[in-house]
Amino acid sequence: MRKLPYILPMLLLVLLAGCDKPESDLPVNTRLGGEFTLTDQDGQPYTHADLKGQVSVLFFGYTHCPDICPAVLARVAQVYRQLDEAGEAEGFQPVFITFDPERDTAEHLKQYLPWFKADMIGLTGSLEQIRQVAEQYGVVFIKGQEEQDYLFTHSDYIYLLDDQARVRKLYPADFKIDEVINDAKSLL
C-alpha cells in the first residue's frame, strides 16, 4: 500500500500520454510546396494558406486526359469515400490542380468534379499561376502540338500534405489505396 502514492501519478501520466495523437513518422519534405494563388471551381481565390488546417491529397492533371488522370481521380475518390464510410473523412481534402486552364475553367471543373463524389476542390488559374505552382511541386507538363484535342505529356505524382500544408509523402499514379488511407489517418 505504501507504493500507491507513486504508482497513481505514473498511471495518470501513462493515461494522459495515451490521449495524445500519435506523431506520424512521415518525414516533412521541405523542398516541395510554397505560396500560390489559384482559383477554385466556384471562382474564388484559393491560396496555399487554404490548404492549412486539413490533410490534403494534392494532384495535378487535366479533365480531357483519357487514361491516367481519370484513373487517378477515381482512386483518390475511393480514398475519400473509404475514409468517409469509416467516419474519418473530416479534415481530409482531395485537391485537383489542372494544368489545362484553357479548357479546365472554373465552370468546367464545377461540372466535372462532383461526379466523383469526393468533395473535391478543383483549382485553375492563369497559365503563369499554374506554371508557378507546378514548379513548386516539381510537376512537368508539356502541351501537345495538336490544335484540337491536344494532350499533355506530364508527371503524375500524388502528394499527401499535412495540416500545415507541408508535403509528407509522394505516391505514383497507381498508388495503393490502403497505403494512402493509412498515411492520411496518421496525419488526421
Partner 1 sequence: MRKAFFKGLLGGLLVLAGQGHAGEIETLEVKDAWLRAAPPVASSMAGYLTITNAGAQPRTVVGITSDFAGHVMLHETVTREDGTRAMRHLHRLTVAPGETVTLAPGGKHLMFMDLKRVPGEGETVQICFDMEVSTDCEAFPVRKAAPSDH
Task: State whether residue 10 is helix, strand or coil.
Answer: helix
Instruction: Say how far apart CA 135 and CA 123 lie, in whole Å.
Output: 15
125 backbone dihedrals φ, ψ, rounded to 5°: 170, -165
- Minimal distance in Å, beta carbon 109 to partner 1? 10
- Cell numbers representing residue 77 in the block: 475518390
169 binds partner 1 (CB under 8 A): no
127 binds partner 1 (CB under 8 A): no
153 binds partner 1 (CB under 8 A): yes
Decide if 133 contacts 101 (C-beta within 8 A): no
Q: Which of 26, 32, 170, 173 binds partner 1 (CB under 8 A)?
A: 173
By CB under 8 A, the residues from 6 to 35 that bind partner 1 are none
Stretch of 14-22, 57-65, 86-94, 161-169 lying at the interface with partner 1 (CB under 8 A): 57-65
Of 164, 143, 136, nearest in space to 32 by CA: 136
- Cell numbers representing residue 136 in the block: 513548386
Single-letter residue type at 102: E
Q: Which of 13, 74, 86, 127 binds partner 1 (CB under 8 A)?
A: 74
Q: Is 69 annotated as a binding residue?
A: yes
Q: Which of 108, 166, 168, 169 binds partner 1 (CB under 8 A)?
A: 108
